Chains A and B, each alone.
Chain A
Amino acid sequence: MDSNKRAAVDRRDFLKLTGVGLVGASSARLLLQPSGQAFASTLNKNDVAILYDASKCIGCLVCEEACKEYNNLPVETAPPSDLSAIKWNLIKQRQGVDPADGPFFSYQCMHCTDAACVMVCPTGALYKDREGFVAFDQDKCNGCGYCTQFCPFGVPHLGDVNLITGQAQAAKCTFCQARIQAGIGGPSCAEACPTGALTWGRRGALLEEAKARVADLIAEGHSGARLYGESEAGGLHRLSILLDEPSAYGLPADPQGPITFASTWQKIIQPLGEVALGTALLGVIGAFLVTRRNIRMEEVE
């Protein structure tokens, strides 16, 4: 009878301990989150953005050269077919499209508001700049390559991968972040573009400009003209005026899939996992204390 009473109290104690452990683990998880990783996915009309107008692009490749030069990227011997660690801005021509219908398209980082790459980057090398674009700190990158697999646009790439050791470094368009952060100018591609196909400025103003341009294009007979990036991926900081379906340019009509995947992983599964680990640790410590009181070593055979 006496031992039953003692046991009942102890079970309550144990449940209390577990409860305290759960709360403790959850709050520790919140407190230990570094401020830099607090991922702000807010969109501001004063963010900087690039606007690309496919109807004005003549495929002269000046933007590609300006990008290479400013970012000190080695020049390829043959024209590449896709973005790479040393190709951050690439013009592709759509086959069988009339020159009047905008056959070119410039591929570069879309600088998403809900950037999947930033969510999955375990080092903080990829981060949201206060101006809204997705910046990159090369020194922090450890080459894990998660960004290359979670980006809905296939933008980040790993350079010089050693398949056995995994040694690598990711790279992508950085919005020429050093120039923006120092306030000395905009992205080199947009600054260099001779036709006004690539321009940069405040996102709110560019959106208005782009919508007016789309209306004009439709009036001129380009019935497929549309704006891409106003709300995709939470709002892109690389807006595009297309003359056809996004799929005609190899762009995803809805890039949300990988973003939802990344945020479920990072914002639900991982925090729950951390709470589980913390609870297991505190539970074990609690069990140690409870057991020490209940089981005397002298009684053990």
Chain B
Amino acid sequence: MTVRIKGTAEAVTICWIPKYTLLERTMHWLHTATFVPLALTGLILYLPFLQPLAQGAAGQWIRLIHRGAAVIFGLLPIIYLIIQPRRLLMSLREFMFDKDDIGWLKGAFGYYLLGKHTAMPPQGRFNTGEKLNGVIMVLSWIAFGITGLVMWFGKGIVPPTLFRWMVIFHDLATIVTVCMFLVHLYLAVAHPLMWAGLVSMRFGVTSAAYAAEHHARWYYGPKRAKRLYEEAKEKAASEAGH
């Protein structure tokens, strides 16, 4: 496959390598298809200027849609666990943080926002930002599940104090996840350096050159990625010295 890049007359050949399985992608998009309506219907109860939509019969519908979407949202990870438990656990293990993540966070601002071509610590299949996203998603899934079930079925059964705390935590989880969703959406659809992300989540494949640049530990393996990283740093240091 070839892609024509703006501003040049040459055609670039891209070597595609597999990154996400069909099930991973299906789960990702079903998660999106339930999270978005959940966030929208939830924000209607939250943001004061949307209050008219929360009132009366409209509000009853909003709450019904929220519950319908919540059931699917809650079941998705469980379905994934049943179909491919090993793959799910592998992905969860990939979310573990290490000291390279600190280096990535330090360099991310200059690299992704200012376009500095500094060497970034080698990343696995998920980079530090994606791992943060993933960990928060796992934690918020648990938080939404517990608080949502209590709010749905616990009214009048659990002590009011517990119910009140559940409402607050549901709220906080909403604030965190919607903020994160906005950043995720931007990086996926509008950030020039992340162009391959949306491609791989749609078609399951990524560019080999992109993987070598952004996911070196996954592409080359940890040893070779580390060596290349050290070499790149030395090269940059000697260039700065001249």
Contacts and interface: CB of A to CB of B under 8 A. Distances in A.
Interface of A: 3, 7, 10-11, 14, 32-34, 37, 120, 122-125, 139-146, 148-150, 154, 158, 161, 163-167, 258, 261-262, 265, 269-270, 273-274, 276-277, 280-281, 283-284, 287-288, 290-292, 294-301
Nearest to B159: A149
B220 to A, nearest CB: 16
B190 A166 contact: no
Contact of B55 (A123, A292, A297): A123
B186 interface: yes
B234 to A, nearest CB: 20
Given A149-B163, A288-B186, A298-B7, A142 B171 contact: no
Contacts of A280: 178-179, 182-183
A143 B60 contact: yes
13 contacts: A10-B113, A11-B109, A37-B51, A122-B45, A139-B55, A142-B54, A142-B58, A142-B60, A150-B160, A166-B67, A273-B174, A297-B6, A297-B192
Contacts of B24: none
Given A167-B64, A287-B113, A37 B48 contact: yes
Contacts of B163: 149
Nearest to B158: A149
Given A11-B114, A166-B152, A287 B51 contact: no
B129 interface: no
Contacts of B179: 276-277, 280
Contact of A281 (B48, B156, B182, B191): B182
A253 B149 CA distance: 32
A301 B213 contact: yes
B221 interface: no
Contacts of A145: 155
A285 B28 CA distance: 24
Interface string B52-77: 00111011101110010000000000
A284 B182 CA distance: 7
B221 to A, nearest CB: 21
B47 A166 contact: no
Given A290-B113, A294-B113, A297-B192, A144 B45 contact: yes
Given A295-B192, A301-B213, A34 B160 contact: no
B8 A298 contact: yes
Interface string B185-224: 1100011110100000000000001100100000000000
Given A7-B110, A11-B114, A146-B167, A301 B56 contact: no
B175 A300 contact: no
A167 B60 contact: yes
B98 to A, nearest CB: 26
A149 B160 contact: yes
B40 interface: no
Given A166-B152, A297-B6, A297-B7, 10 more contacts: A122-B46, A123-B56, A141-B59, A142-B63, A154-B160, A269-B171, A269-B172, A295-B192, A296-B7, A300-B192
Interface centre among B64, B115, B156, B183, by most chain A C-beta atoms within 10 angstroms, is B115
Nearest to A151: B160
Contacts of B192: 291-292, 295-297, 300
A105 B8 CA distance: 86
Contacts of A154: 160
B165 to A, nearest CB: 9
Contact of A14 (B55, B113, B161): B113
A3 B8 CA distance: 23
Nearest to A165: B64
Given A7-B110, A37-B48, A298-B8, A123 B171 contact: no
Interface string B14-52: 000000000000000000000000000000011111010
Contacts of A11: 109, 114
B5 interface: yes
Contact of B193 (A158, A295, A298): A295
Given A288-B190, A297-B5, A163 B160 contact: no
B168 interface: yes
A288 to B, nearest CB: 6
